[in-house]
């Protein structure tokens, strides 16, 4: 049965893309990619083929030496344009020649000043969820997988990387274009895992399967921070089965990257704000690495089934973190995450369909969906399944699940069918239907309990009774304790308390973006007006949406700051990826700003 994906114009019943050979020229002067792509299909196609595209400037389409008829014949602000290839008449391959738009949603083109080194421009892509179509016409749905090869030509001094295996580097011929990097991706991937970047990058080997690409200025700190990646793979394999992608490298991006990390196969794209100098935020790597199985190997069939990617990955992250950092730490994470989840659900409305695990079909704009529900609610649901049958049986189930569905995409319903066959008792003990299809959270479940979290709660209670914590009391706190403290503070506090907490928590010295996200939101709500220039600096530099959106939201919701937020945003707008710009626009427009 073909899967209907509401976020794609493609109709895989017409035929499916099997392989693409790309030739890509990276042109920083026009902020475009010049591309020739040869597509091979699973089988020959009669008549029409619909592809997704977004602002693609198509020059020509041909098959077997003849020109193909084509037309952009449907259009939508979010979905982009439907490219209708006509009269394929049994063709099983075709070639498209085109240019991407400077407004391609997946691509961010950075000036040298927006990089760590300051001397070279930088380009990177972010295709999840539905932005691959702005790089190349494709069946932009996670239910279609293809392999590819690519030759990427970049100017002198730059290195191109892809979420693929690098096979060769040679000198280019054209003027200005100096080096050609060749790649191949022999494992079939869904379009959202296509990824490329170019910049002044160097490589540092960490272990036999692991390494890091970063700008020269950042590489050493990154290599220290992520030195344990090889160990992480070994632990992940114990839980999830063999790692099937060959290498696992990291690419450290400039700070405008909209996410913490993106699980592009073989090459996780990473925010530089994860480099804390303490190895305190490497659970982010654990998360992206786990996606190599839960997401990249076994993939959600549509974005309505997003929890299959993120809920499973958060579950796996928790399990691996438990081995590497201990139970106390995972319990603390879980307790903090539960509070974040409930706050998030309350914001969107406890009975909103966006708080279901299976998301509604009319939510086309995957970027502005409730971001954390599929993660934590999905993880807590899987933990309930584990408790129902015991860890040993659940672990065996995980391995069977991974090997049974490897390199396939599945819907929530297909997953539940499989769960029912393999672990029928789950359905006796867990109210699966409520977890998956009802909004909010069920009445009864194993809510997180954490001693370390309770310790923080005690300090917060004392503060409510007018007893401020001392520096000594909090100086040995775990990072997630500090986070729990900052997020647990009353919405409004006296301005001098903002200053006091900043001082004793040593926020400036620790330079952790996650701390500042909570802290600035509190400062804004508390009327700490002098903080505004620092918030502007923050929003100029940092792109990670998880951390900047709460600050923007606080500014919108607070009377005194409301009038400043639109103009502030306009001043920082061109520093950000299109995805971030769109997300902030949605917030501002909703507030009538
Ligand atoms: N795959 C996501 C990032 C993503 C989600 C991109 C949806 C586009 C649409 C990635 O694995 C992720 O979840 N990143 C999180 C980090 C995680 C530790 C919660 C992030 O960026 O905050
Ligand atoms: Zn994820």
Read off the pLDDT of residues 220-258 as tens digits, 9 standing for 90 and up: 999 999 999 999 999 999 999 999 999 999 999 999 999
Distance CA 522, CA 350 (A): 24
Distance CA 530, CA 523 (A): 9
Neighbours of 353 (CB within 10 A): 17
Looking at the annotation, which residues are catalytic?
288, 375
Residues 244/406, Cβ–Cβ less than 8 Å? yes
Q: Who has greater pLDDT, 173 or 457?
A: 457
The predicted-structure confidence for 262-317, as pLDDT tens digits, reads as follows: 999 999 999 999 999 999 999 999 999 999 999 999 999 999 999 999 999 999 99
CA of 378 to the centre of ligand 1 (A): 14
With a 6 Å cutoff on the Cβ, whether 372 touches ligand 1 is no
CA of 22 to the centre of ligand 2 (A): 27
The predicted-structure confidence for 567-579, as pLDDT tens digits, reads as follows: 999 999 999 999 9
Distance CA 392, CA 215 (A): 44
Task: Tell me what the mean pLDDT of segment 485-491 comes to.
Answer: 98
What pLDDT score was predicted for residue 464? Answer: 97
Residue 540 has pLDDT above 90, yes or no: yes
Instruction: Report in angstroms the alpha-carbon separations of 546 from 192, 399, 450.
Output: 20, 31, 24
Distance CA 274, CA 254 (A): 11
The residue among 544, 547, 576 whose CA lies nearest residue 270 is 544
Report the nearest atom of ligand 1 relative to the CA of 291: 11
Report the nearest atom of ligand 1 relative to the CA of 367: 9
What pLDDT score was predicted for residue 175? Answer: 64
Mean pLDDT of the chain: 96
Residue 368 has pLDDT above 70, yes or no: no
The b/e string for 410-433 (b: 16+ C-beta within 10 A; e otherwise) is bbbebbbebbeebbeebeeebebe
What pLDDT score was predicted for residue 370? Answer: 57
Residue 473 has pLDDT above 60, yes or no: yes
With a 6 Å cutoff on the Cβ, whether 129 touches ligand 1 is yes
With a 6 Å cutoff on the Cβ, whether 287 touches ligand 1 is yes
With a 6 Å cutoff on the Cβ, whether 303 touches ligand 1 is no
pTM over 0.85: yes
Protein residue with its CA nearest to atom 1 in ligand 1? 262
Report the nearest atom of ligand 1 relative to the CA of 372: 19
Task: Tell me what the mean pLDDT of segment 540-554 comes to.
Answer: 96
Q: Who has greater pLDDT, 363 or 90?
A: 90
Residue 102 has pLDDT above 60, yes or no: yes
Distance CA 553, CA 548 (A): 9
What pLDDT score was predicted for residue 276? Answer: 98
Distance CA 312, CA 394 (A): 13
Task: Tell me what the mean pLDDT of segment 104-119 comes to.
Answer: 97
Residue 1 has pLDDT above 90, yes or no: no
Task: Tell me what the mean pLDDT of segment 392-397 comes to.
Answer: 98
Protein residue with its CA nearest to atom 18 in ligand 1? 284
Neighbours of 390 (CB within 10 A): 10
**Residue from 194, 260, 320, 372 whose mutation best tests the ligand 1 pocket (most atoms within 8 A of CB):** 260
In the structure, what pLDDT confidence band is assigned to residue 381 with cuts at 50, 70 and 90? very high
What pLDDT score was predicted for residue 366? Answer: 66
What pLDDT score was predicted for residue 2? Answer: 73
Task: Tell me what the mean pLDDT of segment 383-406 comes to.
Answer: 98
In the structure, what pLDDT confidence band is assigned to residue 96 with cuts at 50, 70 and 90? very high
The predicted-structure confidence for 27-49, as pLDDT tens digits, reads as follows: 999 999 999 999 999 999 999 99
For residue 399, give the DSSP letter: H
Q: Six-digit token pair at 375?
A: 């993660």
The predicted-structure confidence for 120-151, as pLDDT tens digits, reads as follows: 999 999 999 999 999 999 999 999 999 999 99
The predicted-structure confidence for 144-185, as pLDDT tens digits, reads as follows: 999 999 999 999 999 999 999 999 999 887 665 689 999 999
Protein residue with its CA nearest to atom 17 in ligand 1? 284
H or E segment to which residue 344 belongs: helix 327-348
The residue among 149, 152, 171, 148 whose CA lies nearest residue 160 is 152
């Amino acid at each position: 049965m073909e899967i209907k994906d509401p976020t794609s114009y493609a109709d895989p019943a017409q035929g499916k893309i099997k392989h693409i050979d790309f030739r890509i020229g990276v042109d920083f002067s026009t902020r475009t990619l010049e591309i020739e792509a040869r597509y091979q299909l699973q089988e020959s196609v009669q008549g029409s083929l619909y592809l997704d595209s977004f602002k693609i400037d198509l020059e020509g389409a041909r098959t077997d030496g003849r020109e193909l008829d084509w037309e952009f014949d449907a259009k939508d602000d979010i979905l982009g344009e439907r490219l209708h290839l006509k009269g394929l008449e049994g063709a099983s391959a075709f070639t498209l020649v085109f240019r991407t738009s400077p407004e391609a949603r997946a691509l961010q083109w950075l000036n040298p000043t927006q990089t760590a080194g300051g001397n070279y421009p930088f380009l990177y892509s972010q295709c999840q969820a539905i932005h691959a179509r702005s790089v190349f016409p494709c069946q932009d749905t996670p239910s279609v997988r293809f392999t590819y090869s690519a030759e990427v030509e970049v100017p002198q001094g730059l290195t191109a990387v892809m979420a693929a295996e690098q096979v060769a580097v040679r000198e280019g011929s054209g003027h200005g274009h100096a080096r050609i990097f060749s790649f191949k991706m022999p494992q079939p991937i869904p379009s959202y895992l296509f990824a490329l970047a170019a910049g002044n990058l160097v490589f540092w080997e960490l272990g036999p399967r692991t390494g890091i690409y970063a700008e020269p200025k950042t590489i050493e700190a990154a290599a220290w921070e992520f030195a344990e990646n090889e160990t992480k793979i070994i632990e992940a394999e114990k839980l999830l089965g063999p790692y099937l992608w060959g290498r696992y490298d990291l690419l450290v991006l400039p700070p405008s990257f909209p996410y913490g990390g993106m699980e592009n196969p073989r090459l996780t794209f990473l925010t530089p704000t994860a480099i804390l100098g303490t190895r305190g935020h490497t659970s982010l790597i654990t998360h992206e690495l786990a996606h190599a199985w839960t997401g990249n190997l076994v993939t959600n069939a549509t974005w309505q089934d997003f929890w299959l990617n993120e809920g499973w990955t958060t579950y796996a992250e928790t399990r691996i973190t438990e081995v590497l950092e201990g139970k106390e730490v995972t319990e603390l994470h879980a307790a903090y995450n539960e509070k974040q989840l409930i706050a998030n659900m309350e914001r969107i409305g406890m009975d909103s369909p966006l708080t279901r695990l299976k998301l509604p079909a009319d939510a086309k704009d995957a970027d502005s969906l409730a971001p954390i529900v599929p993660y934590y609610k999905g993880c807590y649901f899987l933990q309930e399944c584990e408790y129902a049958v015991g860890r040993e049986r659940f672990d065996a189930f995980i391995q069977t699940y991974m090997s049974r569905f490897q390199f396939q995409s599945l819907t929530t319903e297909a997953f539940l069918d499989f769960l029912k066959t393999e672990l029928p008792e789950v359905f006796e003990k867990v109210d699966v239907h409520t977890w998956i299809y009802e909004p909010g959270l069920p009445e009864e479940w194993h809510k997180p309990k954490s001693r370390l979290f309770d310790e923080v709660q005690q300090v917060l209670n004392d503060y409510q009774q007018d007893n401020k914590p001392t520096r000594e009391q909090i100086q040995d706190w775990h990072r997630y304790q500090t986070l729990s403290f900052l997020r647990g503070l009353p919405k409004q506090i006296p301005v001098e308390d903002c200053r006091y907490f900043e001082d004793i928590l040593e926020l400036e010295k620790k330079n952790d973006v996650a701390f500042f996200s909570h802290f600035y939101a509190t400062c804004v709500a508390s009327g700490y007006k002098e903080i505004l220039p620092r918030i502007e600096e923050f929003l100029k530099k940092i792109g990670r949406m998880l951390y900047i959106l709460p600050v923007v939201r606080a500014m919108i919701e607070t009377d005194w700051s409301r009038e400043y937020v639109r103009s502030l945003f306009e001043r920082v707008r061109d520093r950000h990826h299109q995805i971030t710009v769109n997300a902030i626009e949605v917030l501002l427009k909703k507030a009538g700003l």
